[in-house]
Amino acid sequence: MGPTSALTVAARGHGHSLQGQAQAHRGIVVNMELLKKPEMHVHYGKLPYVEVSGGELWINILHETLRHGLAPKSWTDYLHLTVGGTLSNAGISGQAFKHGPQISNVYELEVVTGKGEVLNCSEKQNADLFYSVLGGLSQFGIITRAKIALEPAPMKVKWIRVLYSDFSEFARDQEYLISSKHTFDYIEGFVIINRTGLINNWRSSFNPQHPLQASQFNSEGKTLYCLEMTKNFNLDEAGTINQDVETLLSQLSFIPSTLFISEVSYLEFLDRVHLSEMQLRSKGLWDVPHPWLNLLIPKTKIHDFNKEVFGNILTDTSNGPVLMYPLKKYKWDNRTSAVTPEEDIFYIVAFLSSAVPSSTGNNSLEYILAQQKRILDFCKKSNIGMKQYLPHYATQEEWKVHFGSRWETFLQKKQVFDPLAILAPGQGIFQKAMHFSQ
């Protein structure tokens, strides 16, 4: 219909995009989950991979690949998301320090561009489109097929949690672990402020190493930092895994009485958030507003950020988990469209809040959004060098600041692959059929 039409198109996966970004006002929203081709197929060989539809859920991919003794290398914490959705952003979890985000673990894509062309692309074929689409916020094309890298899947996981009261020690240990050759397979951190009975809540899934000391630990009124780690193993390694874990833990400075360990299957660990979802659904607490804010903070600024945000702005973390853990820039392919801070190590800090619709208190949507605005204002005023992950901005000027020196490249790629700005209008980056000016 060309530039005379206001019609736009957005791809919607499992419905977890923020701020209505998977919507197209008076346009077409494509339900990607209904895209059933190609059927999932696992390929063996020196570089095994699974070929899937862009609308396939990661949880389904996990179930299918495990049947073949394989699994994708990099994950998100929550698996009930589509392949196209996470690859359009980055796909981050506690394995990203080791394998990079999900966009660093893709061999090939099939993409429908804004021009309506259906193109296969990879590092060697239509490479410009391939790297543009990965982390490209659906601005250049809709991912309809992907080949995802696989590795041998472990059977079991040692799942460990410990607490810190000193942020410097917490950050130092995390940075040490992600930089060590011999380390854990998954590393994430959490910030916990003024949570009553924290240790007791862990007991339903974890065993304390020192039960008596753990029972005497009090979390109320404190700002604590939880380090969560896993070590993967198979049954024939059961004899040595405890020694490996003990050796790694001996190098850390956590509070000894807060060491909790569990042993679960690989599937149980990866799908852990779904269990929480089911519990919340049963209480009617899942289908509520989730005003999430995800920030990437340079390592040199993380102490300033921690001091202000967790010392002044936030008084508790009762509205949802707050994640904080470091990532390594060199694991992110800089040819993709994903934007990260300039430093070699940066932290993801994710405020995963849930609001109570009828509330006017500290758990209301208005209160949480106001709190998040204070955090963003602080970052801007203090020149933190922060980049948003799953970004949302109201104006193109803000998007230009987000992309920085990469804005011109992003703009040029838009002209090539979606010149009429038909795709993903909900991001608010481009207007339909706008006149592109250099």
For 170, the 3-state DSSP assignment is helix
Q: How many angstroms separate the CA atoms of 12 and 31, rounded?
A: 5
Cα angle 340, 304, 94 (rounded to 5 degrees) comes to 45
Sign of the torsion angle spanned by Cα atoms 416, 421, 424, 430: positive
Q: Phi and psi of 229, rounded to 5°?
A: -140, 155
Active site annotation includes 16: yes
Active site annotation includes 188: yes
Which is the catalytic residue, given 188, 228, 271, 308? 188
CB 323, CB 188: distance < 8 Å: yes
CB 97, CB 331: distance < 8 Å: yes
Which is the catalytic residue, given 33, 63, 77, 277? 77
Q: Provide the Cα torsion 55, 58, 62, 65; round to 10°.
A: 40
At which residue do the structure tokens 């038909």 appear? Answer: 422
Residues found in the chain: 438
CB 158, CB 233: distance < 8 Å: yes
For 63, the 3-state DSSP assignment is helix
Q: How many angstroms separate the CA atoms of 27 and 48, rounded?
A: 39
**Which DSSP state fits 405?**
G
Q: Which two tokens stand for residue 140?
A: 């250049």
Active site annotation includes 244: no
CB 368, CB 291: distance < 8 Å: yes
Q: How many angstroms separate the CA atoms of 17 and 392, rounded?
A: 10
Q: What is the largest CA-CA distance in the chain?
A: 73
- Environment class of residue 297 by beta-carbon count within 10 Å: exposed (0-12), middle (13-18) or buried (19+)? buried
Catalytic residues: 16, 77, 188
